[in-house]
């Protein structure tokens, strides 16, 4: 078996792309999207008709409403290919707006349900700010499952689990980027700080029985992926999926398991809002990467709006 087939024995493989044509060959269980991936996709000739059709079908509506329909249009195409769930992201400009995030999530779910898709097959991606986590707590109680994104630290992961979020997406590659730049060290294997962050979160969740799923994300190389074999899910770009598909050695070994986590010597931690904010602030990497990630997603949302207006 190639490495991708081997990895699937231990971990649910998720395609990290808006390019639904490409993902078909890798047969992922789930798929994730975000404003940046959708922006990248709609600029390709093969996806331009989907953008044009969506704009024409909803002419007269606001750019924000049209983008919601566009995100769901991509989601529907993806769900026709995969057997599992698609993640659709809320507007990053709502990252510090609990009520706004709740409203947007409900709107997206309503559009999916109007198209005949049950909410069990949709994950709403929300930034792992305190406000986003509070929104997720409300949404989960309504049966709207949340994928907590832009997650760079243990305090964020702990708060998400306590809120009952369905899934978290720790950003392995962006954590690696920060430490590589800060220290000048090109980390690899088990020494990678991004890998270590996910290992710590996974172990804590399994040790204390949290149901929140852990999905490593934002990978820079296949070494990071293989070090997390056994994680609940891993969302992987088409480029890295192809590399795994084309490689048979070294064999993939399971690195994470609930049984192994159960043996860990850990103490349970609790965080209220004040403790959360202080702990996050104390982590320079997480604070900087969270702010940067929100800025980048906001910028791409603005670009996507401008593109929609061009066709309006």
Structure tokens at 86: 């698609």
Residue at token pair 């320079």: 284
Of the candidates 216, 232, 215, 233, which has an alpha carbon nearest to the alpha carbon of residue 224? Answer: 216
Q: 120 with 81: CB under 8 angstroms?
A: no
Question: Token pair for residue 139?
Answer: 């949404």
Which one of 125, 207, 255, 289 is the catalytic residue?
125
Output the CA angle 54-58-59, nearest 5 degrees. Answer: 110
Find all residues with CB under 8 Å of 111, minimum gap 6, and list them: 68, 69, 72
Report helix, strand or coil for 14. Answer: strand
Q: d(Cα 292, Cα 203) in Å, to the nearest integer? A: 27
The b-or-e profile of 23-49 (16+ CB within 10 A means b, else e) is beebebebbbbbbbbbbebbeeeebee
Let me know: does 308 contact 63? Beta carbons within 8 Å: yes
Q: What is the dihedral of CA 108, 113, 119, 121, to 10 degrees?
A: -100
Q: At a CB cut-off of 8 Å and minimum separation 6, what does 59 contact?
A: 312
Angle at 176 between CA 240 and CA 199, to 5 degrees: 85
77 catalytic? Reply is no
Residues acting as catalytic residues: 125
């Amino acid at each position: 078996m190639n490495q991708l087939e081997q990895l699937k024995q231990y971990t649910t493989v998720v395609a990290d792309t808006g390019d639904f044509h490409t993902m078909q060959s890798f047969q992922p269980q789930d798929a994730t999207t975000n404003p940046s991936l959708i922006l990248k996709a709609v600029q390709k000739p093969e996806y331009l008709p989907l953008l044009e059709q969506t704009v024409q079908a909803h002419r007269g509506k606001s750019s924000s409403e049209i983008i919601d329909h566009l995100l769901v249009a991509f989601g529907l195409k993806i769900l026709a290919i995969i057997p599992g769930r698609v993640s659709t992201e809320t507007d990053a400009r709502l990252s510090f707006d609990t009520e706004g995030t709740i409203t947007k999530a409900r709107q997206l779910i309503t559009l999916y349900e109007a198209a005949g898709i049950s909410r069990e097959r949709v994950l709403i991606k929300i930034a792992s700010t305190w406000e986003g986590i509070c929104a997720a707590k409300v949404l989960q109680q309504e049966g709207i499952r949340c994928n907590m994104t832009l997650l760079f630290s243990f305090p964020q992961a702990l708060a998400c689990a306590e809120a009952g979020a369905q899934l978290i997406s720790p950003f392995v590659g962006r954590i690696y980027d920060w430490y590589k730049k800060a220290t000048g060290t090109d980390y690899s294997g088990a020494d990678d700080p991004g890998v270590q962050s996910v290992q710590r979160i996974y172990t804590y969740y399994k040790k204390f029985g949290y149901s929140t799923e852990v999905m490593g994300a934002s990978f820079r190389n296949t070494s990071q992926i293989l070090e997390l074999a056994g994680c609940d899910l891993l969302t992987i770009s088409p480029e890295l999926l192809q590399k795994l598909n084309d490689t048979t050695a070294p064999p993939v070994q399971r690195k994470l398991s609930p049984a192994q986590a159960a043996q860990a010597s850990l103490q349970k931690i609790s965080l209220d809002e004040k403790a959360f904010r202080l702990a996050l602030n104390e982590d320079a990497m997480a604070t900087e990467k969270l702010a940067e990630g929100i800025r980048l997603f906001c910028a791409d949302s603005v670009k996507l709006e401008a593109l929609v207006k061009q066709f309006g």
